[in-house]
Structure 1
Amino acid sequence: MKPDNVILEAKNLRTYFHLDEGILKAVDGVDLTIKEGKTLGIVGESGSGKSVTSQSLLRIVPNTGTVEGEILLHQRKNGKTEVLNLVDLAPHGKEIRAIRGGEISMIFQEPMKAFSPIHTIGNQITEAILLHNTQDPAEAKGIAIDTLRKVGMSNPEQRFNEFPHQLSGGMRQRAMIAMALACNPSILIADEPTTALDVTVQAQVLQLINDLKEKNGTSVIFITHDLGVIAEMCDEVAVLYLGKVVEYTDVDTLFYGALHPYTQALLHSIPTVTKRSSRLDSIEGTVPYPMNLPRGCGFYSRCKLAKAGVCNVEDVPLVEVSTGHHVRCLLVDKKEPEEAGCPHAEQ
């Protein structure tokens, strides 16, 4: 058995894009640990590096990007655990293609763009099944229809022969989940899977992912900007800002004992019943462009607690302040967890 049931690790993961203007550091030294049957949430504003992190784990970043560091996949073979570094694999080689869709699958953010518009839903799902599970087309079709049924697709036999534009948004998302789960992956990456859905369908999709995780023991990496979804779905949370993890802890500690000013600001921007008569807190400014950044904390220009000569001098390391709770802030030892609690804590 692997230590702590770890199934995937990212160590000092760096994804840089080499552009004419310079080097864009989309992911800059990220460390993540995914455990069997658990859900790791990755949260942050747009431009924080969430989606590029997920693309890096699958080695599907655009050609202008380079992936460095370690992505360690723990595989169980013949009763033994083997560790494979995905960074060492050719991004278009047979080894990584066997892992994509087979051991690690991904639910993409916008199914209408992720699906091919000129192939039926069934054709696209069976393609993965034929690659990873069986070479029998009839058996592959049966698995695809059964998977569509499991994700709650109405009349799966008919939907199997339909094109993406013939399905509603909720049905397309269910078809995307079915394609990701058709080969029973060990790890499921969900990249903001409910962004374009209405509230009712969003709740159904989240419940579906939770149910499938419980039944199959699948590990989930859930990427979102919605802290409400994080509270419902995740066991551990990594807060990303400018391609770096600024806080990493379990979900309860995040909501009731967050220490990083960025995490606190995100929590205090959540609307609550008791704050109806007052304006919501907001984080002034925007996420800086991750190129030619000055030294120091990346959140320095937007942080209300920042101190000149302290926070903007050297790059800030990620430090474990308590068991399992990591924070990237030089002022963290001057704050108490109860002062940083979630605005929902007293409700």
Structure 2
Amino acid sequence: MSEEHEVLLQIKQLKTHFHLDEGILKAVDGIDLTIKKKRTLGIVGESGCGKSVTSQAILRLVPEFAKLEGELLLHRTKGNQKGEQVDLAQLPLRSKALREIRGGEIAMIFQEPMKAFSPIHTIGNQLMESILLHQSDNRKEARHIALGTLRKVGMSNPEQRLNEYPHQLSGGMRQRAMIAMAVSSNPSLLIADEPTTALDVTVQAQVLDLLNELKETVGTSIVFITHDLGVIAEMSDEVAVMYLGKVVEYTDVDTLFHGAQHPYTEALLGSIPSISRSGARLDTIEGTVPFPMNLPSGCGFYSRCKKAVDGVCNVADIPLVEVSEGHYVRCLLAGQ
């Protein structure tokens, strides 16, 4: 098997449930994903589908009161454990191994850098903290690496930016600084949680080009989380469509855009503006994502689906089945 197709992270039946007074909130409800080396997995879906909780669960960043089940099998690529397989779900939260993996082997670009950065520490201090933890204990060398990383991500005047605070940077600069922090240790896996949110189109294109360049030059695998299917088309090799905490369709990016079979995926694709549909009304998905608590049996998309059949789709939970090689769909009416 070539390195490009080796598995880096295998997610098996991942569940993240929050036990509240009102009941059990099933934010992520049994998903299976495969992240391969030097590949990009796109995760797409509406707000509230469980995308961000999935990414946080991988790094064990969900609150301690959340119940996490399943397997997160990581093939280590660094340190003394290189080549070994570890289940992240079984590691103690305060273990040395988990600290080494966070930021060292798996890094994350958070959704809102203004909130992710500390407002009382300079960009340089926060960037060097990660480098000192995972690469070098020499502050002079750490500063040199930090400057080089800021240059790599296209930050203007990096010497000045190191001494500035997050509020002194523009949105695009903060996003570049967040990416620099994430890639400073050359992680094996980079999780990008809607990294282009609130950025203008020009800066968005620059950020996407930067991530693609990092994948090519460093060999980093990427999990790209977004609700923008246009970004998914540009960035992803494989795509997982999530709805109500479950994967409803999983395939390569070309098949998704030209042969989607789940009604939810078809509805998402139908809502994309295009020049060929100039003047025509865009398709809409009626209603909103249900609150993931005390849900009825059957397909989670049943109440919003135009193809739903009473007595078929709302009777029992729908399994994720392989309809063709590498194409998985969670729908009894797939292909109809």
TM norm. shorter chain > 0.5: yes
1:137 matched residue in structure 2: 139
Letter in 2 for 1:74: H
2 CA distance for matches of 1:193 and 1:92? 28
The answer for the alignment partner of 1:18 in structure 2 is 19
Distance 2:98 2:54 in 1: 17
What is the CA–CA distance in structure 1 between the aligned matches of 2:231 and 2:123, rounded to whole Å? 28
Tell me the residue number matched to 1:50: 51
Query: How many pairs are equivalent?
Result: 334
Tell me, yes or no, if structure 1 residue 69 matches structure 2 residue 94.
Answer: no
Q: How does 1:36-185 map to 2 (within 5 A)?
A: 36-76=37-77, 81-185=83-187
| Distance (Å, rounded) in 2 between the aligned partners of 1:92 and 1:44 | 32
By how many angstroms is 1:277 displaced?
1.5
Cα 1:119/1:45, change in 2 over 3 Å: same
Say what the alpha-carbon RMSD is for the aligned residues. Answer: 1.4
Q: Give a deviation string over 1:288-332, Cα, whole Å, max 9, x none.
A: 000000010000000000001100001000001111000000111
Partner Cα separation in structure 1 for residue 142 and residue 82 of structure 2:
29
Q: CA deviation at 1:80?
A: 6.7
Whether the 8 Å CA contact 2:190–2:223 is kept in 1: the answer is: yes
Cα distance per residue 1:237-256 (max 9 Å; x no partner): 00000000000000000000
Q: Is contact 2:77-2:105 (8 Å) kept?
A: no
CA contact (8 A) 1:104 1:189 kept: yes
Q: 1:80 to 1:213 in 2, by over 3 A?
A: closer
TM-score by length of 2: 0.97
CA 1:179–1:79 in 2, change beyond 3 Å: closer, same or farther?
Answer: closer
Deviant stretches of 4+, over 6 Å: 77-80
8 A contact 1:42–1:240 mirrored in 2: yes
- 1:79 Cα shift? 9.9
- Please tell me whether the aligned partners of residues 19 and 64 of structure 1 are also in contact (alpha carbons under 8 angstroms): no
* TM-score, normalisation: structure 1: 0.94
Structure 1 residue matching 2:83: 3-state secondary structure? strand
Is 1:122–1:144's contact at 8 Å kept on the other side of the alignment? yes
Tell me which residue corresponds to 2:325. Answer: 323
Out of 76-85 and 236-245, give the one that drifted further.
Answer: 76-85
Of 286, 292, 295, which residue of structure 1 is paired with 2:294?
Answer: 292
Q: Distance in 2 between matches of 1:199 and 1:87?
A: 37
Quick check: 32-41 or 84-93, which moved more? 84-93
Q: Note the alpha carbon deviations across 1:136-156, whole angstroms, 9 max, x for none.
A: 111111101110010000111
Matched, 1:280 2:274: no
CA distance in 1, matches of 2:234, 2:113: 23
Structure 2: how far apart are the matches of 1:21 and 1:95?
Answer: 36
Question: Separation in 1 of the partners of 2:124 and 2:196?
Answer: 22
Matched, 1:202 2:211: no
- Deviations 1:186-237 (Å, cap 9, x if unpaired)? 0000000001101110011011111111100100000000000000000000
Give the letter for the 1:162 counterpart: E
Whether the 8 Å contact between 2:155 and 2:173 is mirrored in structure 1 is: yes
Displacement of 1:93 in angstroms is 2.2
CA contact (8 A) 1:2 1:81 kept: no
Distance 2:333 2:109 in 1: 37
User: Aligned AA for 1:163?
Assistant: Y
Q: 1:195 to 1:298 in 2, by over 3 A?
A: same
Taking structure 1 as reference, are residues 188 and 309 closer, same or farther at Cα in structure 2, changes over 3 Å only? same
Query: What secondary structure sits across from 2:42 in the alignment?
Result: strand
* Partner SS state of residue 81, structure 1: coil
Percent identity of equivalent pairs: 72
> Deviation at 1:91?
2.0
Q: Distance in 2 between matches of 1:232 and 1:314?
A: 36
List gaps (5 residues or longer) in structure 2. Answer: none
SS at match of 2:192: strand
Helix, strand or coil at the partner of 2:268: helix
**Per-residue deviation, residues 61-99 of structure 1 (Å, max 9, x unmatched):** 022312110000012467973110000011232211110
What one-letter code is carried by the residue in structure 2 that aligns with 1:39? T
User: Distance between the aligned counterparts of 1:118 and 1:8, measured in 2?
Assistant: 35
How far apart are the structure 2 equivalents of 1:290 and 1:323? 31
Aligned partner letter, 2:146: A
